[in-house]
Amino acid sequence: MVIPSEKRNIFQVKGEVSLDDRERLHGHKGAAIWFTGLSASGKSTCAHRLEKILHDMGCSTYVFDGDNVRMGLCSDLGFTEDDRTENIRRIGEMVKLFVDAGIIAITAFISPYRKDRRKVRSLIDEGRFVEVHMDCPLDVCAERDKKGIYEKARAGIINNFTGISSPYEAPESPELLIRSHTLDVGKAALRITGYLKEKGIIC
């Protein structure tokens, strides 16, 4: 038996569940918390601490970092300017869908270029994109770096290394600026949580 298409709504592909519905279910808004800063500036640590606080408040969260993105979605990309741009573009498009799913998506990528971050911001509804600049002097980052990658970059063993052989363009007006060499990670995460409350992203 063939059921007529119109009876089965075959061509109606519009979603039956909206972002509003998902946000009502989760009890908070979907949003992107976009950390940017030099390698070893504390992005990942703060991202995970923030996730822990938000999760304990009952929020649906997810953290994206090199570990789960560079190995998977962007495993075909290197660190040239073009590849970094494509890396951030894909992450931006993915994060957009997480936000649309009503999740608080937290990203921890150097994302050194202003134009790339601007592009991601433009993908996401206003008020749902929170840029957090982890502002830490290069020397402090290099000193913290236990893996010796700054040393290798300075010796020319690693190429295209942000801050050494590749530029870092600091945000001009991020939603939040964290001087991560003078602020404890827990306090930094709480400051971001406070901002999210203030803006009505969480209750």
Using CB under 8 A, which of the segments 61-69, 110-118, 151-159, 170-178 binds its own copies?
Answer: 61-69
84, 143, 196 from 41: Cα distances, Å: 18, 11, 22
Helices (H) and strands (E) in the chain, counts: 9, 5
**Contact (Cβ atoms closer than 8 angstroms) between residue 202 and residue 29:** yes
Q: How far is the CB of 182 from its own copies (least distance, A)?
A: 5
Residue 177 pairs in a beta bridge with 133
Q: Does position 164 bind its own copies by CB under 8 A?
A: no
Site string for its own copies, 84-113 (x = CB under 8 A): ------x--xx-xxx-xxxx----x-----
The residue type found at 114 is R
From 15-23, 114-122, 151-159, 160-168, give the range in contact with its own copies by CB under 8 A. 15-23
Per the residue annotation, which of 111, 165, 166, 180 is the catalytic one? 111
The helix (run of H) or strand (run of E) holding residue 131 is strand 129-134
Q: Are 118 and 85 in contact (CB under 8 A)?
A: no
Active site residue 41: no
Report the residue number, 151 or 156, with the smaller CB distance to its own copies: 151
Residue 178 contacts residue 36 (beta carbons within 8 Å):
no
* Residues near its own copies (CB under 8 A): 1-3, 5, 7-17, 21-22, 25-26, 40, 42, 44-45, 48-49, 51-52, 55, 58, 60-65, 67-69, 72-73, 75, 90, 93-94, 96-98, 100-103, 108, 123, 140, 143-144, 146-147, 181-185
